[in-house]
C-alpha cells in the first residue's frame, strides 16, 4: 500500500506557478523529506494534500483511497505554525483535537509527558514559549495514533535547544514505525532525520530517492605531498582515478568503483610519493543540493 501518491499536482497564484506537475510517492515507514529553498512550493504542496488549498490540476490519493476529511483523521499535521485556541489549556486544546478525530483511546497526559509539557498542562496556550507551542503541536499531531505525520519546518524559529528536542522527538516517533512527511529548507535536518528525500525548486521536482542515493555514494579524496606538481601528473595518469582538481595546495579526486582510498595510499607509497595529507570525505547533501539546484538554473 502506498501512503500517499500525488499525480501531476499543480497550483498557481495568478501568474506565479507555486507547484507544477508534482509527482510524489510515499511508502509506509518512510521518513520523507521535502527539501527546497523558501518559496519553492513545499507548504503549498502540503496544504493541497491536507485539504486546505484547492489544486488547479492533478490529484492525490491517501492510502490509495482518495481524499476527504475521513482520511485526514488518520493523519497528524503541523503546518507552519502551531494553531490552538490561546485561551484554552494544553489539555483542553488536545481534547478538541481528540474530539475531531473521534479518538477516545489517546492518553492526553501521556502525550504531554512525551513532549515534556506535563507540568504546564493546565496553563493557557497563550502563556507558552514558541518551543512549548511547537511541542504541543507535535503532541496534537500524535493524537489518535495516526499512521502518517506531516511536519512543515518543524524546527523553524526554535533556539538550538528547542531544535535538538524537536529532532530527537521526530526520531523517536519515526522509530515507532510511523510514516513521516516533513518539509524543510534545512539540509542538515533532512540528512539527520529522513530516509527519503524529494528536492523541489520553484514548484518542480528536481530529484527524488533515498537519502543515500541522492547523496552521491562516491566519496571524494583529498591528498597532498611535498612535490604537488609531480603527484598531480601521476594521479592524472592513474587509471583508477576519475577526476582531479587542485585546490588550495591539495589535490581533490574521486576514485573508480572498486578502488579504495587505502589502495590509493599504497599506490602512492609504491610510486615514491609520501603523502602529507589524506582525507576521505562523503559529499554532503548540501553540496549535492547546490549542485542539483544549480544545474537546473543552467
Q: Are 160 and 168 in contact (CB under 8 A)?
A: no
Contacting other proteins (CB under 8 A), which of 28, 66, 86, 272? Answer: 86
In the list 8, 17, 25, 50, the residue contacting other proteins (rule: CB under 8 A) is 50
Among the listed ranges 89-97, 159-167, 223-231, 288-296, the one in contact with other proteins (CB under 8 A) is: 89-97
Q: Is 73 in the site for other proteins (CB under 8 A)?
A: yes
User: Judged by CB, which is closer to other proteins: 86, or 272?
Assistant: 86
Query: Least distance to other proteins from the beta carbon of 127, Å?
Result: 14
Count the helix, strand and coil residues of the chain and give each as a percent rounded to the nearest 5: 35, 30, 35
Smaller CB separation from other proteins, 77 or 155: 77
- Least Å distance between CB 253 and other proteins? 49
For other proteins, the closer of residues 143 and 207 by Cβ is 143
Residue 261 touching other proteins (CB under 8 A): no
CA gap 141, 181 in Å, rounded: 12
Asked whether position 51 contacts other proteins by CB under 8 A, the answer is yes
Within 10 Å of residue 44's Cβ, how many Cβ atoms?
20
Element (H, E) at 148: strand 148-152
Sheet holding 31-35, edge to edge: 75-78, 148-152, 179-184, 31-35, 196-201, 204-210
Q: In angstroms, what is the minimal distance from the CB of 44 to other proteins?
A: 9
Q: Is 99 in the site for other proteins (CB under 8 A)?
A: yes
95 binds other proteins, rule: CB under 8 A: yes
Q: How far apart are CA 111 and CA 275, in angstroms?
A: 56
Buried b / exposed e over 6-36, threshold 16 CB at 10 Å, is: beebbbeeeeebbbbebebebeeebbbbbbb
Distances (CA, A) of 257 to 75, 104, 260, 263, 271: 42, 55, 8, 12, 22
Q: Which is nearer to other proteins, 10 or 208 (CB)?
A: 10
Binding mask 19-48 for other proteins (x = CB under 8 A): ----------------------------x-
CA atoms within 13 A on the CB side of 61: 10
Q: At what angle do helices 160-175 and 130-142 cross, to 10 degrees?
A: 10
Q: Counting contacts by CB under 8 A, is residue 88 touching other proteins? A: yes
Matching residue, cell 507555486:
18
Would you say 142 or 199 has its CB closer to other proteins? 142
Stretch that binds other proteins, among 29-37, 75-83, 194-202, 252-260 (CB under 8 A): 75-83
Interacting residue ranges for other proteins, rule: CB under 8 A:
47, 50-54, 68-70, 72-73, 75, 77, 79, 81, 83-88, 92, 95-97, 99-102, 140
Amino acid at each position: 500500500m502506498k501512503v500517499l501518491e500525488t499525480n501531476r499536482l499543480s497550483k498557481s497564484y495568478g501568474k506565479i506557478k507555486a507547484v507544477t506537475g508534482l509527482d510524489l510517492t510515499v511508502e509506509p515507514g518512510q521518513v520523507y523529506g521535502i527539501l527546497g529553498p523558501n518559496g519553492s512550493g513545499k507548504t503549498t504542496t502540503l496544504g493541497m494534500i491536507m485539504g486546505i488549498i484547492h489544486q488547479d490540476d492533478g490529484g492525490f490519493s491517501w492510502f490509495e483511497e482518495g481524499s476527504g476529511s475521513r482520511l485526514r483523521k488518520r493523519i497528524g499535521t503541523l503546518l507552519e505554525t502551531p494553531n490552538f485556541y490561546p485561551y484554552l489549556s494544553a489539555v483542553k486544546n488536545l481534547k478538541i483535537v481528540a474530539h475531531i478525530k473521534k479518538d477516545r483511546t489517546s492518553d492526553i497526559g501521556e502525550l504531554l509527558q512525551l513532549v515534556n509539557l506535563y507540568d504546564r498542562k493546565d496553563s493557557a496556550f497563550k502563556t507558552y514559549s514558541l518551543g512549548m507551542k511547537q511541542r504541543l503541536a507535535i503532541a496534537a499531531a500524535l493524537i489518535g495514533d495516526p499512521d502518517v505525520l506531516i511536519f512543515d519546518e518543524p524546527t523553524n524559529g526554535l533556539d538550538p535547544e528547542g531544535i535538538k528536542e524537536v529532532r530527537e522527538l521526530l526520531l523517536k516517533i519515526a522509530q515507532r514505525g510511523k510514516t513521516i512527511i516533513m518539509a524543510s529548507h534545512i539540509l542538515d535536518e533532512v540528512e539527520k532525520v529522513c530516509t527519503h528525500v524529494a528536492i523541489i525548486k520553484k514548484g518542480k521536482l528536481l530529484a527524488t530517492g533515498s537519502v543515500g542515493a541522492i547523496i552521491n555514494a562516491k566519496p571524494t579524496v583529498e591528498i597532498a605531498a611535498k612535490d604537488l606538481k609531480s603527484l598531480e601528473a601521476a594521479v592524472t595518469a592513474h587509471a583508477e582515478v576519475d577526476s582531479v582538481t587542485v585546490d588550495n595546495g591539495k589535490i581533490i579526486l574521486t576514485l573508480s568503483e572498486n578502488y579504495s582510498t587505502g589502495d590509493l595510499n599504497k599506490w602512492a607509497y609504491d610510486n615514491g610519493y609520501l603523502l602529507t595529507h589524506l582525507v576521505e570525505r562523503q559529499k554532503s547533501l548540501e553540496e549535492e543540493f547546490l549542485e542539483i539546484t544549480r544545474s537546473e538554473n543552467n
